[in-house]
Amino acid sequence: MAVILGVVLAGGLARRMGGGDKSLQMLAGRPILDRILERFRPQVDGVILNANGDAARFARWNLPVAGDAIPDYAGPLAGVLAGLAWAKQNRPDVSDIVTVPGDGPFLPRDLVARMVAARDKAGADLACAVSAGQAYPVVGLWPVRLHDDLRRAMVDEDIRKVDRWTARHKLVQVEFAAQPVDPFFNANTPDDIAEAERLLAQLGDAA
């Protein structure tokens, strides 16, 4: 049986938000990270954050923080590698990690179960999420056994794009309904925060 570690990718530069951490932006009175963890935690066997810089800013959540092993903000693939490396070193019982972005407040509550089921049914190595015809490579299921392969690709071949690396392995895409709200909505800008607040109000208790 798969033992899954959840990894919230909170290590981006948030340029479109004017700097700072997107996961710490307030949404209807609560940090976005609160909303992510509320949905994500019940689905996994532990959660860590992938973030760079001073980890103290996340202290209130009392979660392990793993920085990128690849320098200079090498993108989300570096966050995946950091999650795999942390699992390999600290949780030898973990078979896979599931990564989610730190700016997605509407994660599906059945994300992990559906990703694992689809991956196993297809006999695939990896799974990623799709909604409304758009793939979200960073909403992904990654086996810890591919850590060394990914590290070689990033360090020796300078690969940075997620789909360049996943193309080497069998990947299954898992479709999620985009209604009543797209579960992979990203709060990238102040306007997105306003739209997310509108959606939360619309969803009411269902949020």
Distance, in Å, from the CA atom of 54 to the CA atom of 10, rounded to the nearest integer, reads 12
Number of domains the chain is built from: 1
Task: Say if residues 105 and 16 touch (Cβ distance below 8 Å).
Answer: no
**Cα 146 off chain centre by:** 17
Output the pLDDT for position 200. 84
Task: Say if residues 68 and 79 touch (Cβ distance below 8 Å).
Answer: yes
Look at residue 17 and tell me whether its pLDDT is greater than 60.
no
Tens digit of pLDDT for each residue in 66-92? 999 887 777 899 999 999 999 999 999
Query: Residue 35: in which H helix or E strand, if any?
Result: helix 32-40
Using DSSP's 3-state secondary structure scheme, residue 21 falls into coil
The number of residues making up the chain comes to 207
Distance, in Å, from the CA atom of 17 to the CA atom of 8, rounded to the nearest integer, reads 18
Whole-prediction pTM = 0.93
Tens digit of pLDDT for each residue in 183-199? 999 888 888 888 888 88
Look at residue 41 and tell me whether its pLDDT is greater than 50.
yes
Instruction: Provide the mean pLDDT of the chain.
Output: 91
Q: Give the CATH number for residue 133.
A: 3.90.550.10
Distance, in Å, from the CA atom of 87 to the CA atom of 96, rounded to the nearest integer, reads 8
Reported as a pLDDT band with limits 50, 70 and 90, residue 205 is low
**Mean pLDDT lowest among 120-124, 138-142, 178-182:** 178-182
Q: Identify the domain containing residue 149 by its residue range.
A: 4-206
